Structure 1
Amino acid sequence: MSKARIGWGFGALLVLASSGIVLVAEIVAARVIAPYVGITLETFSAVIGCVLAGISLGSWIGGWLADRVPTRLLVVGALGLGGASLVASPYIVRVIGPGVTPSDPGSAVALAVTAFLLPAVSLSAVTPTVLKAIGEGSPRLGSIAGSISAIGTAGALIGNFAAGFILVGTLRSAQILVACGSLCLILATVALFAIGGNPSTRATRSAAAAVLLLAAVVGSQLGRQLPCDAETEYVCLNIEQTAPNTYLIRSNIYSSSVTNSADPTYLAFPYVREIVALVAAAIDPAAPDVSFGYVGGGGYTLPLYFEATYPESSHLVYEIDGDMVDRVTTMLGIDDREERFPTSIGDARVGVAVSEPQSLDVVVGDAFSGISVPWHLTTTEFLEDIDGLLKPGGLYVMNLIDYDHYDLARAEARTFQAVFDDVVVVAPEFVLSATSGAGSNILLIGGSDLPDVNTLTQALANAGSGTTAIAGRDLEAFIGGEIQLTDDFAPVDQLLGRP
């Protein structure tokens, strides 16, 4: 077998590009599968594990084949197969995704492996192939290997930052993957001419034409997209009009809000009706100048409701997803948002920490990443920041979802107890007695002078809720021996029960 000729410059380009594209695919993959399995720690772990397995397997296979297969054939094959499978990946997810079980770790792994293992394996075979071609017989093999490794790492860094800071905010996820796949196919075509040897001119031109044609075809598919009205930086967002003036907002696979722009007192979700009943029991609607804060803006359901029912109130919203805020408020006709509902765009943990102390009477926490509250919004340290925001006599109402043994709800209640003088948990009886394991919204209330549980339970009953408020010894029995969540240890996704 004659030794193929591959120059340092072109070899470095191939390693840089293939490594970078693998990292771009890894970052985008979680966004592609999120509309079907949600965005949870397991989703990220599934994607990262799948891509790392592909890198490991591809490096081993590529090295083994480099000793047995001509360099040109192996490089073109790896880039061609990697490119074609990347192009196909969003469509594979779109076909398989609707049939998987939402919020299931196994489904996340299956989608990640099916759509993204082959591209990672194929493209990771490029680096050992280039190393073999450049370094074979050289007395400086160690230096060459170190340089190739450094170039591959640099490519991964470029891919990481390009995806996170540029591509995701510019293109749709499917567009990014198809563009990366097309680039691989073009590089495969170039490699046919750039890597030395004496192939048939007719065969070279035919293969090059076929690859270029395929690249052109897949390039024409760049307009294809995920099943979203819009891909924001954080979610696959859908806004559906379900009735006149009524809008359902869906983030990935989850229905997050229902808002009626003509009648803001219409509340579709039971837990939202429970929140307003609890607030009304603690804060007289006739009270002047009540100030509300919201950790999570969603569909602006609660800001609109409390504006209508507390006419002299003021509002401050903390929401990380600025694109979603713009789209939702535009759909609802909230043209004067910054006057009525000033919105701090960014992570609520940061926004709350820099807000004016003792400035709010009520704060409602209703922020989710998938079915879980982001872990850093559950900890003692965050609750201390919330407590610092509250005026004397103020309260914090937090919504979370839990299943099975309700370990997350128990841990969060323990954490509330470490910060607030008074703590109340509101949940259905089957949650408090742990007799079912079914999923449920669970509300936690913290403050310094809360109404007694009988008053709160009656307010809930008047609102048509079948939930119960507990405190004191009943709350201690519910919490049991659960841990307190801190910034140093908050295993929220592990505590969360599964549907």
Structure 2
Amino acid sequence: MPAIIAAALVFLSSAAVLVLEILAARLLAPYVGVTLEVYTAIIGTILAGIAFGSWWGGRYADRKDPHTLIGPFLIVGGILSFLTIPVVDALGTGLRGASPFTTVVLTFMAFFAPAAVLTAVTPAVIKIQLADLDETGRVVGRLSAIGTAGAIIGTFATGFLLVAAAPTRPTIRVLGVFLVALGIATIVYLRGGRQAVSLGTLVAIAVTGTLSFAARHPCDHESAYYCARIEVDPERPTGRALWLDTLRHSYVDLEDPTYLEFTYTQWFGDVITALAPDGEPLDTLHIGGGGFTMPQYLRELHPGSQSTVLEVDPLLVELSEDELGLELGDDIEAVTGDARLTATQLDADRYDLVVNDAFGGVSVPWHLATRDFLSQLDRALTDDGVMVANVIDYGPRDFLRSYLATTTSVFDHVAVLGRPDAFGPRDARGLGGNYVVIGSDAPLPVDAVEAANRSRGHVDELLHGDELVTFTGDARILTDDYAPVDQLLTPTPDA
């Protein structure tokens, strides 16, 4: 086998493994979300597949003629790539919101085998190229370097180009077709046209390809960040819910922007009412746009308000305009990009209110939960400006406590709204849900917030002062250098 062909086969098979690794996150997201645990499961599974494939492929190449193995390895790798889609759909439906253990199981079932089989190409090619033991180091080193280069190119091309240019599932299917075609071409080349692909192999390709193309897509819309869909509320015909991956993130009533479906958005409304009880306009910064619920609420009830929305995903801006009644204008401005970067461009001492509602899965993105970021928001607020932040936590609520400790390290006055009896002891079971953390350098209008809450017929709990200090305890402050948000968070209620 010419060295150039050997290099190409190692390069392409290694690149395919990393293409699958990057796309795995998007394929899994609609079922298990996007968390550190998901990325950990993917990286660990792919590394396990690479390790096993290197060992097994080398051992198999010693037992059989490697010329007869490379083509079949590529074909089987393509077949298994096809199967990642129906396997994730079949198993993922029953594992939505899965624990770290079941996330690892789902990832392993879908991606271990293709990673192992495609990795087995490299030792088979090395076996062919080793014509002289005196050149073992040079041959192994060269092909290992080429394989690593393929993995790097596969990573960069997928992360920077493919995810932004094409949906995940068609990309995986194209990869499967490419690997099958490359495998067939390799068989023809290495065997001189003899021993064509068997009927059984052709049937396997056809069946797995059909299963892949027939798999139901859980997304109506897909971006580099989210699998998104919009559903009509069957109990409220004008209501629209925006789903991102596994969670219902936003709700908008097309005919009544003042309607707030989610409890935490009603708490945002309570704070807004306390700050501007007579409908005065507010200059507001929104971290996370979602369905643009709160900017449209402010436009309706506080005419003249200015809303600057920092939204990472351009798709959500488009969906909100197309399907959720959003009309951008002088009073509502959308700035796309990561809020940690775009916030650096904000004017100091400008905003009356910051609405911090950015989420990745069930968690505030870690870099938006640190003292360093909250200090950026504090700089953008006026002297008596207020920040409100949505936090979800259950069980011992360790993340909530750390977020409160972090907020207290930045703002002079802090309070938190929660459901009645949501602030019980750490070892109490079943506690938690949404909380709204409130921070300001000026004394908070806690009485006005409670009055606004009671006026809606609610008796939610507002914790502040010594009670807040007791609840927070000795929780660690989150910083850019130390923010284990995923480890602190309990995403579901205790059993």
**What RMSD over aligned residues (CA atoms) do the two structures have, in Å?**
2.1
Of residues 294, 298, 301, the one that matches 1:306 is 298
State the aligned residue count: 488
Q: Deviations over 1:410-444 (max 9, x none)?
A: 00110111111111111234331233333310111
CA distance in 1, matches of 2:310, 2:253: 21
Q: For 1:300 and 1:346, how far apart are their aligned partners in 2? A: 16
CA distance in 1, matches of 2:181, 2:378: 57
> Which residue is equivalent to 1:495?
488
Task: Identify which of 305, 315, 338 aligns with 2:307.
Answer: 315
Instruction: Give the percent of matched residue pairs that are identical in Structure 1 and Structure 2.
Output: 35
Q: Which runs of 5 or more structure 2 residues have no equivalent in the other structure?
A: none
Say if 2:357 is the partner of 1:366: yes
1:461 equivalenced with 2:454 (yes/no) = yes
The range that moved more, 299-308 or 224-233, is 224-233
- 1:94, 1:309 → 2: CA distance? 43
Which residue in the other structure is 1:162 paired with?
Answer: 157
1:447 to 437, 440, 452: 440
User: In structure 2, what is the equivalent of residue 386 of structure 1?
Assistant: 377
Which residue pairs with 2:272 in the alignment? 279
Instruction: Report the Cα distance in structure 1 between the residues aligned to 2:383 and 2:290, rounded to whole angstroms.
Output: 27
CA contact (8 A) 2:81 2:172 kept: yes
The answer to whether 1:43 aligns with 2:43 is no
| Residues 79 and 208, structure 2, Cα contact 8 Å, conserved in 1 | no
Measure, in 1, the Cα distance between the counterparts of 2:83 and 2:89: 10
Name whichever of 375-384 and 29-38 sits farther off.
29-38
* TM, length-normalised to structure 1: 0.93
Which of 5, 8, 18 in structure 2 is aligned with 1:10?
Answer: 5
CA distance in 1, matches of 2:168, 2:35: 18
Among 414, 421, 439, which residue is 1:430 paired with? 421
| Paired residue type of 2:293 | T
Equivalence for 1:99:
94
Gapped regions of structure 1 (runs ≥ 5): 1-5
Alpha carbons of structure 1 residues 60 and 187: separation in structure 2 relative to 1, 3 Å: same
Question: Is 1:351 matched up with 2:342?
Answer: yes
Residue type of the alignment partner of 1:250: W
Counterpart among 399, 416, 435 of residue 408 in structure 1: 399
What are the Cα deviations for residues 262-296 of structure 1, in whole angstroms up to 9, with x where unaligned?
11011111111111111211233443x42011101
Is 1:410–1:479's contact at 8 Å kept on the other side of the alignment?
yes
What's the TM-score once normalised by structure 2's chain length? Answer: 0.94
After superposition, the Cα gap between the structure-2 partners of 1:206 and 1:418, relative to the gap in structure 1 and judged at 3 Å, is closer
Query: Would the aligned equivalents of 1:237 and 1:251 in 2 still touch at CA under 8 Å?
Result: yes
Match of 1:25, as an amino acid? L
Alpha-carbon distance, 1:82 to partner: 1.1
Checking the alignment, whether the CA contact within 8 Å between 1:274 and 1:463 is kept in structure 2 is: no
Which residue type is aligned with residue 332 of structure 1? L
Give CA-to-partner distance per residue, 1:74-104, whole Å, 9 cap, x none: 2122112111010111111111111115142
Equivalent residue runs for 1:26-425 within 5 Å: 26-195=21-190, 201=194, 204-207=195-198, 211=202, 214=205, 218=209, 226-242=217-233, 243-287=236-280, 289-334=281-326, 336-425=327-416
The answer as to whether partners of 2:274 and 2:445 remain within 8 angstroms in 1 is no
Larger mean Cα displacement after TM superposition, 310-319 or 239-248? 239-248
Asked if the contact 1:424–1:471 (Cα under 8 Å) also holds between the matched residues in 2, the reply is: yes
- Alignment partner, residue 3 of structure 1: none
**Structure 1 segments of 4+ aligned residues over 4 angstroms from their partners:** 208-213, 219-225
Distance between the aligned counterparts of 1:322 and 1:21, measured in 2?
28
Asked if the contact 1:250/1:256 (under 8 Å) is kept, the reply is: yes
CA drift at 1:360: 0.9
In the aligned structure 2, how far is the partner of 1:44 from the partner of 1:224?
Answer: 23
